[in-house]
Chain A
Amino acid sequence: MQGKNIYKPLLFKLNKVETESPLIKTFFMTPEIPFDFKTGQFVEVTVDGVGEAPYTPSSSAWVKDKMEITIMKAGYVTQKMHELKGGKVLGIRGPFGRGYPLEKFHGKDVIILGGGVGIAPLRCLLLTMLQEEDKFKKIHICFGAKTPSDFIYKDWFKDLAAHKRVELLRTVDKADGDWKETEGVVTVLLDKLQVDFKEAVAVVCGPPIMMKFGTLRLLELGVQEENVYLSMEKNMSCGLGKCGHCAMGDYFVCKDGPVFTYNEIKNHPNIWM
């Protein structure tokens, strides 16, 4: 048997696990060999003997010798992941799929719309972009969560807002006493932006309902269909364009996506579920 085995994971040492919210934890890992990926690509994470699931890293794509992944407890594999402690070894296959074509964002207003645990992959995108901040006209971040305590990466937002090219807007569905920012669905943040929408690019990542209404609002505001980037969540097993689980019309989302422009997928069935 010769050549690289596409099914065999690389080994990543789990250094520590941090709790972001009752259902969400971040896993800090060190790969056995430096690991190269583009922001927007995903990896398959194996818990030994338990199962495998796809995630987009939440750390910068510039960093090759460390990786962070933020995971919400949602099923059997993620439940087992949440039980893990530092010192364990995880398997990683990938990177898979197409990432964001950052060259196309250069010189433009970039709107980043995210909600819930969808903020995790967007953290990777933002950290990667901010490394070369001056290449973008301005980065408008519109994040939403159910309640203020549901925001992940609470300590990160101050850093983020301090960047000169960043505009950070946040909203919650339900505010509590201390909340001074917006209350309401995440699309209300879009209405606050002072941007030439026709020239802007937008990235949307979050729960299906938010992706749908966020995208529709962006289009209404004038963002071009080919400038709206969506990261699609599908059932996945192989990540290789073979097992069929992620099929969406004439795409294998794992290989042809997971990032698509709205233009590329608008005629496909079931894009919002």
Chain B
Amino acid sequence: MKSYSVSEKQWAEILHKALSHYGIFAPVSKESTVDYEEITEKKIDQIFYDSIKPTTPLKAFFFPIKENVVAAKKQTPRLILGVPACDLAAIDLLDKIFLDKDFLDIYYQENRENTIVFGKDCYSFNKSCHCTAYGLNPYPEKNCDVGMSHSDGKFFLTPFSEKGEAFLKEAGIASSAREKLPSNVEAKRQSTTDGLKKQNKDIPDGKATRIGIEKENEELWKKYAAACVSCGACAAICPTCHCFLLIDKKNFEKIKNWDTCQYPAFERVAAGEDPLKKLYNRLKNRYLCKFVHKPDMFGEIACTGCGRCIDACIGKINKNEIIIEACK
């Protein structure tokens, strides 16, 4: 894969210029968390390129928490920097659902089309990161417009799409000579991957997980559900969870609002029946959805190993502990 190299200073200048056309979102560090922020002139220098995963999953840019999907609005062009591979991988499933040709979601489509996504290499990770357990590498390989590797005061920009190539060209980069990724970038990628594999050596892969989750195992689900308060944080923060509720406003407007099977009554029908009435069934449902039903429907598991649901759970329920135990 070939890329263009730019100095940090050149890149900052490119962003300064880009601000006149684009909204820019990038990870900025707070004391203990990292999340996307809208970048202004002043904040360009505060962008944290070597961050761990941002708290907010990428999906929030394409499928916002709340979106009026009847009253027309135009998405202004955006750049999103610093997107980890686990979030990029999740786009496969979201595109299959929202860009389904039978029922194309023009709001999602517009949000996608007007965004240039910059994937990034992860050279650091936290305890919950487990992308490698599902065969993903911690650097961009798909679903971004430009891949970004940061090393020794330089950025190595790898175009993945025409949109990405065009942006780089306009910025005056794509005319300079292309190079292979330098060996120190390759080495950092390798050592991150090795570190992740070591950390995650006990986590079963998607196929093995399926077998474990499909077992009845009522006691196990009850045990873990005892700490669950149905807050839905695991689903909100998950890059692949796509459920929503349409909420009605006057003039036949509708708000597409994040929703989750972890909330009570998600599946309740008017007559009162509710297949997910019991909390432990709801907890299990999220795992069935990700490792059994989504593979049957879309040919892929709906977990990219980002680990956010582990970090977010106020009951300290650890997804991988459940899976390891279920697979015993």
Name which residue of chain A comes closest to B72, CB basis: A1
Give the distance to chain B from A12, nearest Cβ to Cβ, in Å. 11
A238 interfacial by beta-carbon distance below 8 Å: yes
Q: Determine whether the beta carbon of B252 is less than 8 Å from that of A8.
A: yes
Say whether, besides A8-B252, A46-B252, A247-B289, A241 and B102 are in contact (CB < 8 Å). Answer: yes
A194 at the interface (CB under 8 A from B): no
For B255-296 the 0/1 string (1 means CB < 8 A from A) is 010010100011111110111000000000000010011001
Nearest chain B residue, comparing its CB with the CB of A73: B270
B244 touches A49 (CB 8 A): no
How does the 8 Å CB contact mask read for A242-256 relative to B, with 1 for contact and 0 for none?
111111011110010
Residue of B nearest to A50 (CB): B248
B19 lies within 8 A of chain A by Cβ: no
Nearest Cβ on chain A to B272's Cβ, whole angstroms = 8
Q: Does A207 contact B (CB under 8 A)?
A: yes
Question: Are the C-beta atoms of B266 and A235 separated by less than 8 Å?
Answer: yes
A237 near B110: Cβ-Cβ < 8 Å: no
What residues make up the interface of B, taking CB atoms closer than 8 Å to A? Answer: 69-70, 72-74, 97-98, 100, 102-107, 109-110, 242-246, 248-252, 254, 256, 259, 261, 265-271, 273-275, 289, 292-293, 296-297
From B261, B268, B297, residue with most partner A Cβ within 10 Å? B297
Contacts of A235 in B (CB 8 A): 265-269
Is A273 within 8 A of B275, CB to CB? yes
Chain A residues close to B by CB (< 8 Å): 1-9, 11, 46-53, 72, 74-75, 78, 91, 207-208, 233-235, 237-238, 240-247, 249-252, 255, 269-270, 273
Give the CA-CA distance A51 to B97 in the complex, in Å: 23
Q: Which residues of B contact A52 (CB under 8 A)?
A: 246, 248, 254
**A53 touching B270, Cβ below 8 Å:** yes
Contact across chains for B105 and A241 when beta carbons are under 8 A apart: no
- B289 and A207 contacting across the interface, CB-CB below 8 Å: no
Q: Which residue of A lies closest to B275 (CB)?
A: A270
A237 touches B261 (CB 8 A): no
Please, which residues of chain A bring their CB within 8 A of the CB of B269?
233-235
Chain B residues near A250 (CB-CB < 8 A): 292-293, 296-297
Minimum Cβ distance to chain A for residue B259 (Å): 7
A-B CB proximity, top 10 nearest: A244-B243, A250-B296, A74-B270, A270-B275, A7-B69, A240-B103, A49-B250, A273-B273, A91-B252, A235-B267
A51-B248, A242-B242, A243-B246 given; A7·B273 CB < 8 A: no
Q: Please determine whether A245 and B70 come into contact, CB atoms closer than 8 angstroms.
A: no
How far, in whole Å, are A72 and B273 apart by their CA atoms in the complex?
A: 16
Return the chain B residue nearest A242 by Cβ: B97
Report the separation of the CA atoms of residues A205 and B1 in the bound assembly, to the nearest whole angstrom. Answer: 58
Query: Which residue of A9, A49, A75 is within 8 Å of B249 (Cβ)?
Result: A49
